[in-house]
Chains A and B, each alone.
Chain A
Amino acid sequence: MYAVEMKDIIKRFGSFTANNGITLLVKKGEIHCLLGENGAGKSTLMNILFGLYRQDSGEIRINGKSVENHSPLAASRMGLGMVHQHFMLVDALSVWENVVVGLEPGGFRIDRKESIRKVQELSDRYHFELNAEEQVGNLSVGMKQRVEILKTVYRGAEIIIMDEPTAVLSPPEVEQFLMILRDMRADGKTIIFITHKLKETLAVADRITVLRAGKSVSTIEAGNASARELAGMMVGHEVDLEIERPFNEAGGAVLSVEGLRLLPNAASTVSFDIREGEIFGIAGVEGNGQKQLEEMIMGLIKCREGRISVLGKDVTKLGTRKRRQLGIGYIPSDRLNRALLSSFSLEDNYLLGKQFSDNYVRHGIVRHKAVKEAAGTLMREYDVRAAGMDQAAGSLSGGNQQKLVVGREASDEPKLIIACQPVRGLDIGAIHYIHEILLKLRKEGKAILLISAELTDIQQLSDRIAVLYKGEILAARKNEDFTEEEIGLLIAGHREAV
C-alpha cells in the first residue's frame, strides 16, 4: 500500500519544464529520500504534492485515493504536512502558541491548559525535549525546526514532507534530527525527506528516489546503494568525489587578524594569520560570526575592536576600495546580492571590483576592449557557459555565476582570497571544479581564507582549521590534528571536545 503515488507528473513554467514525467511511489511508514541537485525538480514536485502548484498532467493518489482539485487545505485534510526550509514561526510567541495557532482547543477562549498539555505530550512522545511554554525566539535553530515538525504532527499529519531540513543544522544536530525521523517512523509516520546530501540519505532512508533534470532516474532500496553510485545517478555520469590536496610549503603571513571582536557578546576575540600558499578554513554553522568576519575583513562593516593587516599593512581603517587595491579577491557568501549585477552584461559584471584598476579604466574612461578581452579569457579558462558577453549575469545558472565570480576574483594576481560559502547551492560537478580552482590558487602561492558551513569543504581543502562558535574560535589546528567527530562537537559548541 502506497501512502503517496505520483505518476508521470509534468509541470512547466513557461518554456521551462521543471518536472518532466516524474513518478514517485512512497510506501506507508517509510522514510523516503528524494535526492537530486538544485534544479532537479524536487521542490516543484513537493509543492505539487502539497497543493501549492497544479501539475500540467499526471496523477496523484494519497492513501490510494485519487486527488482532484488539489489545494494545501485539501492536502492537510488528507493527512499531509510540510516542513518548509524557511521557518514560519512567530518568535515573540511561545512554543505552544506557535503550534496550536489556527486550531486552538477551546471555544471563544483558547483553552490554555489543554493546549500546553497537548503540545507537551506530543513533544515528549518524540523526545523533542521542548518546553511548551518557552518563547520561540529563545530557541536554537535546531529546536525551532522541531517546533515546525510539531506543528504538522499536531495538525494530524501522517505523511510529512521535509524540504532540505538539515541545511541549517550543525553535525550533532543533524544526528539528533535523524534520530527524530526514526522515532517518527517507529510511530507509523511516513516521511518524505528532500535533500542533496548523500551521507544523510544513506544514514536514514529506507528507499531513495533520485531526480535529475526534471526526471526520476530510479528508485532504489537504501541498503543496496553506495554514495558513489548515488552521486553518479544525480549527475548523470561517473563522478570523482575524492580530491587530492598535495603538500604545499606555506610562505610569509598575508592576512593577520588580531583581537577582532566579531559579535558584541562574544566570550573572546579572534586572532589568526594566513600565510602564502595556505588555505585557512573556518568551520561552523552560519550565524556564529562568519558574516561579520567576512565583512570586517573587506571593510564593509566597522570593526570596533581589533586589528586587521594585509601584507604587514594595517587596513583596519581603510575602505573597501583601498583594501581591494592591496590585492584582495573577494567571493562573498551572498553571491547574488554582493557579487553580481543581475541585469547587467557579463562584461559589466567582470568590471565590478576592477573599475578602480588602471588595467580596465584609464583617466576615468572604461577601456571596453580590455574588459571584453579579459572577460572572454575568464569565460574560456573557467568554463563559464553563456550565450555571449551580452547575456545578463542573472540568467546564468548558479554554477556558472559562481565560476564567473571566482574567476573574476582570482584574476589580476590577488595575494589574498576571501572565499565565503564558495560552493553553496552548486551541484556536485561545479563543487568539484571550484575545489580544484581553490587548490590551484593555493599552489600559486595565494593565501586563502575559506569560510564554509559545509564540513566536507573545510576538511578536503584546508591546511589549518578554526572552528567558529558564537563569535569565538574554539580551536584552531592543522587539519590532520582534528578528527571529524571533534570538529562536529566543536561546531555544536562543545568546548570540552578540544
Chain B
Amino acid sequence: MGSADMRSFLAFLGRSLAAVLLSFAVSALIMLVSGYNPALAFASMIRGSFGSANSFANTLSKSVPLIFAGLACAYANKGGIFNIGCEGQLYMGAFVSTVTALSLRGMPRLFVIIASILTGMAAGAAVGSFNGFLKAKMKLNEVVVAIMLNYICRFFTSFFVSGILKDPDSETPQTLPVGEHYMFSKLIPKTQLTTALFLALIAALAMFFFFRETRAGYNVRAVGENGAAAEASGINVARTMILTMAVSGGLAGLTGVTEVFGKSERFIDGFSPGYGFTGIAIAFLAGNHPLGILLSALLFGIIQAGSMKMSYEAGVSTSMISVIQGLVILFVATPELVSIRIGRRRTA
C-alpha cells in the first residue's frame, strides 16, 4: 500500500470509528430518554459478547455470515453493481448445498462437505450471474430484478421444504438434518464457532489480494469506475459484469452454506434474519475494503451477540440493536455530521 493509500485508508477508518462512537452516543441518549440505564445496557452488551470464551466464540460465529454477506456486496460494489439480491442468493446457496449433502449421504465426509460448498456457491453464482446477464445484455436495472429474484428464491426454497423435502417428523417447514458427521468442525465445543471462520478469513484475504494484485481484479474495478473507459481499454464489459455478479452471488451462497453446515444442520424455511441486507450495510461501513469488512462484521456481531444479555440485564428491548445499526449507517452516510467543521469566515 502506498503512503497516500495508507493515509486515506486511515482517514476512512477514523471516519467510520467516529460514526460508530456517535451512534453509540445517540443510542445512549435514546435509552436515557426512555428511562433505561445506558451504561448498564452497554456494559451488559459487552459482557454478553466478550464476557467469556464461549460468549466471544458466539460473537465470532455471529460475525461469520455477516463477513460473507459483506464481502459479497463489496465485491459487486467494486464492480459498480449494487447487489441487493444477496438474500435470494444465500437462500439458494443454503438450499442447494443441503440437498447435495442429503443426496450424498454415506459418502466420505470431506468429499460431501466440499461438494456441498461448491454446489452452494454455484447456486448463488447462478442466481447472481442471471441478474448480471439481464443487466449487461438486456440493460435491465439490477436492483429491481434482484428484489424480485429475492422473492422467487425465497419462495422456491419454501415450496420444497414445505412439500417434498420436508422433514416428516417436524412441525416446522425444514429439511432432514444433513447429519452431525457432515458439519464443519467446531473450534470450541458447545459453541457455534466452526472452521467456517477460517473460510471467511480466507475469502477476505483472497479478495484483498485479488483487487490489489491481479489483472482480473483491476478489470472489475475499472468497469466499476467507468464502463466506457474500461471498454475502450479492451475489457469485455458485459462479460466482466456477469462474472462480477457470479462471484458476488457465489460469496452470498457461501453465507447460506456456512449457516447450514455451521449452525442449523439443515435448511430451515426463512432462516435468514436478512443477512443479505445487513451485508450491504457492512460493506458500506467498510468502504468495500475486504479487511475493513472483517472489522465491521465483527462490530455487528458484537452488537447482535450482546443484545440478549442487554435485554435481560438492562431491560432494553433487542430491537435497540436495529436502532444502533441504523444509526451507524446514517452517520457513515453523512460524513458532514461526523467531521467537525470549522466554519469558514465569509468576506461578504
- Nearest neighbor of B214 in chain A, beta-carbon distance: A364
**Shortest Cβ gap from A420 to chain B (Å):** 11
Q: Does B138 contact A (CB under 8 A)?
A: no
Whether B218 pairs with A320 at a CB distance below 8 angstroms is no
Stretch among B32-40, B200-208, B224-232, B316-324 lining the A interface: B224-232
Whether B346 lies near A361 (C-beta < 8 A) is no
Chain B interface (Cβ < 8 Å from any Cβ of A): 2-5, 213-216, 218-219, 221-222, 225-226, 228-236, 346-348
Total A-B contacts with CB atoms under 8 angstroms apart: 88
Report B-chain residues with C-beta under 8 Å of the C-beta of A10. 347
Partner of A356, one of B5, B225, B234: B234
A340 located at the interface, meaning its Cβ lies under 8 Å from any Cβ of chain B in the complex: yes
Chain B contacts for A319, CB-based, 8 A: 234, 236
Q: Nearest CB to that of B232 among chain A residues?
A: A338
List of A residues within 8 angstroms of B230 by Cβ: 352
B216: which A residues are within 8 A, CB to CB?
364
When A and B form their complex, which 6 residue pairs have the shortest distance between CB atoms, in order from nearest?
A321-B234, A390-B4, A353-B233, A341-B225, A338-B232, A361-B215
Q: Are A353 and B218 closer than 8 Å at their CB atoms?
A: no
What residue of chain A has the Cβ atom nearest to residue B234's Cβ? A321
Closest-CB distance, A332 to chain B (whole angstroms): 6
A300 touching B346 by the CB < 8 A rule?
Answer: no
Q: In this assembly, does A316 line the interface, its C-beta being within 8 Å of a C-beta of chain B?
A: no
List which A364-404 residues lie within 8 A (CB) of chain B: 364-366, 368, 388-391
For B215, what are the chain A residues with a Cβ–Cβ distance below 8 Å? 355-356, 361, 364-366
Interface pair A338/B228, CB less than 8 Å apart: yes
Query: In the bound complex, what is the Cα–Cα distance between A340 and B347 (angstroms)?
Result: 37
A54 in the interface (beta carbon within 8 A): yes
Among A57, A330, A389, the residue within 8 A (CB) of B348 is A57
Q: Given A361-B215, A366-B213: A342 and B231 within 8 A (CB)? A: no
B214 near A365 (CB under 8 angstroms)? yes
* B residues in contact with A323, CB < 8 Å: 234
Interface check A55, CB cutoff 8 A: yes
**Complex interface: chain A residues within 8 A of B3 (CB):** 390
Cβ-based interface call for A413 (8 A): no
| A315 nearest CB across to chain B (Å) | 13
Q: Which residue of A lies closest to B233 (CB)?
A: A353
Known: A351-B218, A366-B218. Contact between A343 and B4, CB under 8 A?
Answer: no
A75 on the B face (CB < 8 A):
no
Q: How far is the CA of A297 from the CA of B348 in the complex (A)?
A: 54
A495–B3 CA distance with the chains assembled, in angstroms: 60
A contact set with B: CB distance below 8 Å: 10, 54-57, 298, 300, 319-325, 330, 332, 334, 337-345, 348, 351-353, 355-356, 361, 364-366, 368, 388-391
Complex interface: chain B residues within 8 A of A391 (CB): 4
6 A-B pairs, CB-CB below 8 angstroms? A300-B232, A320-B234, A324-B233, A330-B232, A366-B213, A389-B2
CB distance from A20 to the nearest CB of B (A): 12
Nearest CB of A to B158, in Å:
41
On whether the beta carbons of B348 and A355 are closer than 8 Å, the reply is no
Q: Inside 8 A of A332's CB, which chain B residues have their CB?
A: 232
Q: Is the CB of B348 within 8 A of A342?
A: no
SS class, residues of chain B in contact with chain A? helix
Least CB distance from B87 to A in Å reads: 29
CA distance A47 to B225 in the complex (A): 32
Q: Within the assembled complex, what's the spacing in Å between the Cα atoms of A397 and B99?
A: 58
**Do B225 and A320 touch (CB < 8 A)?**
no
> Given that A352-B222, A390-B2 are contacting pairs, would A339 and B213 also be in contact in the complex, using a CB cutoff of 8 Å?
no
Min CB distance B80 to A, Å, is 11
Name A324's contact: one of B229, B234, B348 (CB within 8 Å). B234
The answer to whether B235 touches A337 (Cβ under 8 A) is: no
* Cα distance A466–B151 in the bound complex, in angstroms: 58
- Nearest-neighbour CB distance to chain A for B326, whole angstroms, equals 28
Cα of A54 to Cα of B215 in the assembled complex, Å? 48
A365 partner, pick from B213, B219, B348, beta carbons under 8 A: B213
Contact A390 to B5, CB < 8 A, known contacts A353-B233, A364-B214, A366-B214: yes
Which residues of B lie under 8 Å from residue A338 when comparing CB positions? 228-229, 232
Name which residue of chain A comes closest to B225, CB basis: A341
In the assembled complex, the CB of A290 is this many whole angstroms from the nearest CB of chain B, namely 16
Q: Which chain B positions have C-beta within 8 A of A366?
A: 213-215, 218
Tell me whether A355 and B228 are in contact (CB under 8 A).
no
Contact B5 A54 (CB under 8 A): no
| Distance in Å: Cβ of B190 to nearest Cβ of chain A | 43
Q: Which B residues are in CB contact (< 8 Å) with A325? A: 234
Partner of B347 from the list A56, A341, A353 (CB cut-off 8 Å) is A56
Knowing A56-B348, A390-B5, say if A352 contacts B233 (CB, 8 Å).
yes
Instruction: Tell me which residues across on chain A come within 8 A of B229, comparing CB atoms.
Output: 337-341, 352
On whether the beta carbons of B348 and A339 are closer than 8 Å, the reply is no
A321-B232 Cα distance, complex, nearest whole Å:
8
Please report the C-alpha to C-alpha distance between residue A56 and residue B347 in the assembled complex, in whole angstroms.
6
For the complex, what is the distance from the CA of A348 to the CA of B215, rounded to whole Å? 11
Instruction: List the A residue with the shortest CB-CB distance to B2.
Output: A390
Which among A55, A342, A364, A365 is the interface contact of B225 at CB below 8 angstroms?
A342
In contact, B226 and A337 (Cβ under 8 angstroms)? yes
Cβ distance A386 to chain B, nearest Cβ, rounded Å: 11
Residues of A within 8 A of B221 (CB): 344, 348
Given A388-B4, A389-B2, does the pair A348, B347 have CB atoms closer than 8 Å?
Answer: no
Chain A min CB distance to B284 (Å) = 17
Bound form: Cα–Cα A332–B230 in Å: 12
With known contacts A56-B348, A388-B4, A337–B228 Cβ distance under 8 A: yes
Q: Which residues of chain B are near A389, meaning CB under 8 Å?
A: 2
Chain A residue at minimum C-beta to C-beta distance from B231:
A300
Shortest CB–CB separation between residue B336 and chain A, in angstroms? 14
A368: chain B residues at CB < 8 Å are 213
How far apart are the CA atoms of A332 and B234 in the complex, in Å?
A: 13
Indicate whether A355 sits within 8 Å of B218 (C-beta atoms), given known contacts A56-B348, A319-B234, A339-B229: yes
Q: Are A353 and B225 in contact (CB under 8 A)?
A: no
State the Cβ distance, B201 to closest chain A Cβ, in Å.
22
Give, as a whole number of angstroms, the nearest-CB distance from A349 to chain B.
Answer: 9
- Cα A325 to Cα B233 with chains together (Å): 11
Chain A residues within an 8 Å CB radius of B346: 56
The smallest C-beta distance from B227 to any residue of chain A, in angstroms, reads 9
Beta-carbon contact of A298 and B219 below 8 Å: no
| Residues of A contacting B228 in the complex (Cβ-Cβ under 8 angstroms) | 334, 337-338
Measured CA separation A325–B235 after assembly (Å): 12
Chain B residues with CB under 8 A of A56? 346-348
Among A320, A321, A330, max chain B CB count under 10 A is at A320
CA distance A57 to B347 in the complex (A): 7
A355-B219 contact in complex given A300-B232, A341-B226, C-beta closer than 8 Å: yes
Q: How far is the CB of B209 from the nearest CB of chain A, in Å?
A: 9
Complex contacts, B214 vs chain A, CB 8 Å: 364-366
Query: Distance (Å) between the CB of A59 and the closest chain B CB?
Result: 12
